[in-house]
Amino acid sequence: MNAWGLNTYLYAPKDDLKHRALWRELYFPAEEESLRAIIQRCQQRELRFIYALSPGLDIRYSQEPELECLKKRFEQMLALGCRDFALLFDDIPDRMEPRDRERWDSFAAAQCHVTNAIFRWLRERNVTGRLLFCPTPYCGRMAERKLGGEGCLEIVGRELLPEIDVFWTGPEIISREIPLAHIEAITALLRRKPLIWDNLHANDYDGRRFYCGPYSGRATAVRGAVSGLLVNPNNEFPLNYVPLRTLAEFVRCDGSWHARKAYLDAMRHWLSYFEIVGHTVTFHDLVLLGDCFYLPHEEGPEAQEFYALTRRLFAAEPAKWGGEVIAFRKRATQLRDCCARLTELRHRPLFYALSRRLWELREELDLLLGYVRHKTEGGNPDTPCRSDFHLPGTYRGGMVPRLQHLLIQHSDGTLTPNHAASAQRQRNVAANQPAPNTPP
3-state secondary structure at position 219: coil
CATH number, domain containing residue 177: 3.20.20.80
pLDDT at 139: 98
* Mean pLDDT of the chain, nearest integer: 93
257 & 279 share domain: no
51 & 141 share domain: yes
Pairing status of strand 407-409 against strand 415-417: antiparallel
200 & 331 share domain: no
Pairing status of strand 228-231 against strand 407-409: unpaired
- Calculate ∠ Cα 365-370-372, nearest 5°: 95
319 & 210 share domain: no
Please list the residues that pair with 52 across neighbouring strands: 86
425 phi, psi to nearest 5 deg: -60, -45
36 pLDDT above the threshold of 60: yes
Please list the residues that pair with 229 across neighbouring strands: 196
436 pLDDT above the threshold of 60: no
Give the residue from 376, 400, 423 where a domain finishes: 376
Total domains in the chain come to: 2
- Helical (H) or strand (E) element with 186: helix 180-190
For residue 180, give its domain range.
Answer: 8-268
243 pLDDT above the threshold of 70: yes
- Worst-scoring range by mean pLDDT, 134-148, 295-309, 349-363, 384-398? 384-398
- Which has the closest alpha carbon to 250: 235, 239, 265, 272? 265
178 & 72 share domain: yes
177 & 195 share domain: yes
What value does the mean pLDDT take over residues 343-349? 97
* Active-site residue set: 91
* Residue 190: burial class (beta carbons within 10 Å; 0-12, 13-18, 19+): buried
- Worst-scoring range by mean pLDDT, 181-185, 291-295, 312-316, 427-431? 427-431
Sheet (strand 165-168) strand order: 8-11, 48-53, 84-88, 131-134, 165-168, 195-198, 228-231
383 found inside a domain: no
Contact between residue 345 and residue 274 where contact means Cβ atoms under 8 Å apart: yes
What value does the mean pLDDT take over residues 195-217? 96
281 & 213 share domain: no
Give the residue from 268, 284, 313 where a domain finishes: 268
At 134, which amino acid appears? C
193 & 317 share domain: no
Rounded to 10°, the helix 152-159/107-125 angle is 30
Give the residue from 268, 293, 324 where a domain finishes: 268
122 & 96 share domain: yes
137-168: burial string, b at 16+ Cβ within 10 Å, e else? bbbbebbeeebbbeebbbbbbebbeeebbbbb
CATH number, domain containing residue 313: 1.20.58.240
Q: What is the three-state SS of 279-334? A: CCCCHHHHHHHHHHCCECCECCHHHHHHHHHHHHHHHCCHHHCCCHHHHHHHHHHH
pLDDT at 439: 37
176 & 323 share domain: no
pLDDT digits (tens, 9 = 90+) for 288-312: 999 999 999 999 999 999 999 999 9
At 114, which amino acid appears? V
d(CA 122, CA 115): 10
